[in-house]
């Protein structure tokens, strides 16, 4: 017999203490609890919050943003650097910036500005539109605006002019060609630029984004180009304008080693630039600070083997060491953490709307005059035991193959073939159950569990809400947000609403590597089953697309208020009309076209008046509705 299931078992099952700490945990009531300012602060019951909003007509799927988490992350990052600075008696400051590309939503960027106020947090723009955002936001007095990306004259001139509005706007040269454009613009406007240079380091990151560094990286100057840049600036008596060294070796850097290596290389370049007479003063270490999506604390791509404090210590120590050796004064430290600021604040909550679950149970004995093959299969079924699982699986598989050829040559009826197939699945199910009592599972049987698992159909689109699952096999923690005091007895994969076979989730976080199915609860009649996809706040929203015309989901901004919470903003998801307009349809014309066809169907008596009205009512109501499944 199993021991009774508790919420502690669920915590282990879903690894929530690993990836959820300090914002997500399981309450005694079996619901996921959110603590936006850490475990000592107020808690919000995610399940009740979702039902609460549903009662107000905001249906799922819904993206919840816990704005306080953004502020809390900024505080944690800034304080880690402050602590490292104090402990090492580092004679410089830390000024973080948030890369707008990670989440451009106005409410998020405004939250960064608000939460970053005590820490002089600024913004990083990777394009002209993002610079326009950065300039429109009220930022702390001493914060930085950093301009990266491909730049045209307007981008550069805007950045230069913005300096006259009491902002420190640093133009990072990402390609050697940009220096002439900047010098020209600066001369034309009579404004001296504050320049940075992005170095192409030879120290690479790891995993998916390793190509962000190295000789073939898209952006950055090689050492030869950096020297060329220095000479060019010297020619124009502009050496004093180069104030910052920048590098970015990729995102989600799961190991501390490449970070240390990059820091060491960059620190040496920094002191060299200072010695060559450049003003310097800032060292920008880019992004890459990882999120532990699977909670394993390892250098697996979905995890990280270092903590925030270690990261800050290593950066401070490395540059301090290099500066000390070269008697160069230490720079203000800048980092551009995006994922590490934004990922945790957003949770997608969605409902399971159906399932495809095959339970075979006990087969009935075929009558003795049945096809020989059916009798053999039944015998195989009956003989399955721990000692012969592999052999039984062979026998069953062979019989199934044989039934297919017998059918092909006319020696078996369709009904008989179907019976053989069913018996085969009965065998598989019994083998899978028997395997639970076997210590060593043969390789060919390892997939059986997945083959027999249920599919839970979920009311959301991966392409819209978590495109990285599809694009780069990213792992997000996914789990039910209630019934966690109950044993999850169904092993399932998840499928979304799109008709795309890629719209499925078959990889889930696991302590070791990944697992192919997720344990969930049986659906209860007439009761919603709600699941959450966590750590969803970085990159997903803007990369999301309208595959199958599923649009933006509803979003609610939840803010702590005393011991409770308030809903700050609700952003309604797209209606069908909105997504159709996006692809250039005119909904009024569409209604008209359908009306005309219906009219002629009525006049030719293929449709009754009543039926025509129902059709047009449905058509018009659907145009106004949410793009996802709704109950009414
Ligand atoms: C994308 C990007 C970042 C953010 O990286 P994270 O890994 O999300 O922290 C920072 N700087 C630059 C230049 C980038 O391109």
* Token pair for 367: 């009558």
Find the 286 Cα to ligand 1 centroid distance in Å: 6
Is the CB of 467 inside a 6 Å radius of any atom of ligand 1?
A: no
Judge if 68-346 and 372-449 fold alike in CATH terms.
no
Is the CB of 220 inside a 6 Å radius of any atom of ligand 1?
A: no
Could you tell me whether strands 454-458 and 490-495 are parallel, antiparallel, or unpaired per DSSP bridges?
Answer: parallel
Residues 6 or more apart whose CB falls under 8 angstroms from that of 63 comprise 346, 347, 348, 349, 465, 536, 541, 553, 554, 555, 556
Is the CB of 92 inside a 6 Å radius of any atom of ligand 1?
A: no
Mean pLDDT of 124-142: 96
Per residue in 353-375, pLDDT (tens digit) is: 999 987 788 899 999 999 999 99
Confidence of residue 512 (pLDDT cuts 50, 70, 90): confident
Per residue in 587-602, pLDDT (tens digit) is: 999 999 999 999 999 9
Distance CA 168, CA 165 (A): 9
Is the CB of 73 inside a 6 Å radius of any atom of ligand 1?
A: no
Is the CB of 212 inside a 6 Å radius of any atom of ligand 1?
A: no
Is the confidence at residue 1, as pLDDT, over 60? Answer: no
Find the 292 Cα to ligand 1 centroid distance in Å: 17
Preceding omega of 206 cis (within 30 degrees of 0): no
Is the CB of 336 inside a 6 Å radius of any atom of ligand 1?
A: yes
Distance CA 278, CA 262 (A): 21
CA atoms within 13 A on the CB side of 400: 16
* Token pair for 77: 């990052």
Long-range CB pairs of 550-553, under 8 A, 24+ apart, other chains included: 550/460, 550/461, 550/463, 550/464, 550/497, 550/498, 550/579, 550/627, 550/628, 551/464, 551/575, 551/576, 551/578, 551/579, 551/627, 552/464, 553/61, 553/62, 553/63, 553/348, 553/460, 553/464, 553/465, 553/628
Is the CB of 338 inside a 6 Å radius of any atom of ligand 1?
A: yes
Given this model, what pLDDT does residue 591 score? 97
Is the CB of 318 inside a 6 Å radius of any atom of ligand 1?
A: no
Find the 55 Cα to ligand 1 centroid distance in Å: 39
**CATH code of domain 68-346:** 3.20.20.10
Confidence of residue 632 (pLDDT cuts 50, 70, 90): low
Mean pLDDT of 271-284: 98
Q: Best substitution site from 221, 247, 286 to test ligand 1's pocket, by max atoms within 8 Å of Cβ?
A: 286
Confidence of residue 205 (pLDDT cuts 50, 70, 90): low
Domain 372-449 has CATH 1.20.58.930: yes
DSSP state, residue 574? P
Is the CB of 31 inside a 6 Å radius of any atom of ligand 1?
A: no
The domain locations on the chain are 7-55, 68-346, 372-449, 577-624
Ligand 1 atom closest to Cα of residue 342: 8
Given this model, what pLDDT does residue 206 score? 67
Ligand 1 atom closest to Cα of residue 148: 13
Tell me the sheet residues that pair with 437.
none
Distance CA 294, CA 509 (A): 5
Is the CB of 288 inside a 6 Å radius of any atom of ligand 1?
A: yes
Ligand 1 atom closest to Cα of residue 290: 7
* Token pair for 481: 């947000």
Is the CB of 99 inside a 6 Å radius of any atom of ligand 1?
A: yes
* pTM strictly above 0.95: no
Find the 595 Cα to ligand 1 centroid distance in Å: 51
Mean pLDDT of 156-164: 96
Find the 287 Cα to ligand 1 centroid distance in Å: 4
Per residue in 293-308, pLDDT (tens digit) is: 999 999 999 999 999 9
Confidence of residue 127 (pLDDT cuts 50, 70, 90): very high
Mean pLDDT of 228-242: 96
- Contact assessment for residue 575 and residue 624, using Cβ atoms and an 8 Å cutoff: yes
Terminal alpha carbon distance of the chain: 43
Is the CB of 248 inside a 6 Å radius of any atom of ligand 1?
A: yes
Is the CB of 238 inside a 6 Å radius of any atom of ligand 1?
A: no
């Amino acid at each position: 017999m199993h021991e009774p299931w508790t919420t502690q078992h669920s915590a282990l099952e879903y690894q929530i203490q690993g990836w959820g700490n300090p914002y997500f945990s399981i309450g005694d009531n079996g619901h996921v609890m959110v603590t936006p300012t850490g475990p000592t602060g107020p808690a919000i019951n995610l399940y009740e919050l979702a039902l609460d909003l549903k009662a107000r007509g905001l249906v799922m799927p819904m993206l919840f943003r816990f704005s306080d988490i953004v502020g809390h992350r900024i505080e944690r990052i800034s304080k880690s650097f402050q602590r490292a600075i104090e402990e090492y008696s580092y004679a410089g400051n830390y000024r973080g910036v948030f890369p707008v590309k990670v989440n451009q939503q106005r409410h998020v960027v405004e939250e960064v500005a608000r939460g970053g106020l005590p820490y002089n947090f600024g913004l990083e723009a990777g394009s002209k539109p993002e610079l326009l955002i950065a300039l429109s936001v009220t930022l702390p007095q001493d914060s930085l605006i950093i301009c990266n990306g491909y730049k045209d004259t307007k981008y550069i001139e805007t950045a230069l002019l913005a300096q006259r509005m009491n902002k420190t706007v640093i133009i990072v040269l990402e390609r050697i060609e940009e220096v002439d454009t900047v010098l020209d613009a600066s001369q034309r406007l009579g404004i001296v630029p504050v320049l940075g240079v992005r170095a192409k380091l030879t120290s690479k990151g790891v995993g998916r984004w390793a190509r962000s560094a190295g000789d073939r990286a898209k952006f950055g100057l090689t050492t030869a180009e950096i020297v060329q840049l220095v000479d060019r600036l010297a020619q124009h008596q502009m050496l004093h304008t180069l104030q910052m060294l920048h590098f970015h070796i990729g995102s989600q850097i799961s190991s501390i080693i490449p970070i240390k290596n990059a820091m060491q290389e960059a620190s040496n370049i920094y002191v060299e630039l200072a010695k060559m007479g450049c003003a310097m003063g800032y060292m920008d270490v880019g992004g890459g600070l990882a999120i532990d999506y699977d909670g394993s604390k390892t250098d697996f791509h979905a995890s990280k083997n270092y903590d925030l404090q270690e990261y800050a210590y290593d950066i401070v120590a490395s540059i301090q060491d290099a500066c000390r050796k070269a008697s160069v004064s230490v720079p203000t430290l800048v980092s551009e953490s995006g994922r590490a600021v934004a990922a945790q604040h957003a949770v997608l909550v969605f409902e399971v709307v159906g399932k495809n679950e095959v339970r075979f149970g006990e087969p009935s004995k075929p009558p003795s005059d049945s096809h020989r093959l059916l009798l053999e299969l039944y015998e195989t079924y009956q003989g399955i035991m721990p000692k012969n699982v592999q052999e039984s699986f062979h026998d069953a598989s062979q019989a199934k193959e044989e039934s297919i050829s017998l059918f092909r040559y006319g020696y078996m009826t369709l009904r008989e073939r179907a019976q053989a197939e069913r018996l085969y699945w009965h065998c598989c199910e019994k083998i899978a159950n028997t395997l639970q009592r076997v210590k060593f599972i043969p390789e060919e049987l390892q997939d059986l569990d997945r083959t027999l698992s249920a599919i839970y159909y979920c009311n959301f689109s991966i392409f819209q809400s978590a495109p990285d699952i599809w694009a780069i096999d990213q792992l997000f923690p996914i789990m039910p947000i209630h019934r966690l005091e109950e044993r999850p007895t169904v092993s399932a994969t998840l499928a979304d609403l799109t008709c795309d076979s890629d719209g499925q989730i078959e990889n889930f976080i696991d302590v070791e590597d990944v697992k192919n199915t997720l344990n969930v609860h049986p659906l209860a009649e007439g009761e919603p089953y709600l699941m959450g996809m966590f750590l969803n706040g970085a990159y997903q929203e803007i990369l999301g697309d309208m595959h199958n015309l599923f649009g933006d989901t509803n979003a609610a901004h939840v803010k702590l208020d005393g011991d409770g919470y308030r809903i700050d903003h609700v952003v309604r998801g797209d209606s069908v009309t909105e997504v159709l307009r996006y692809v250039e349809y005119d909904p009024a014309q569409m209604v008209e076209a359908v009306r005309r066809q219906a009219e002629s169907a009525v006049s030719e008596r293929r449709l009754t008046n009543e039926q025509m009205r129902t059709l047009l009512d449905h058509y018009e109501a659907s145009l106004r509705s949410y793009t996802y499944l709704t109950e009414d």
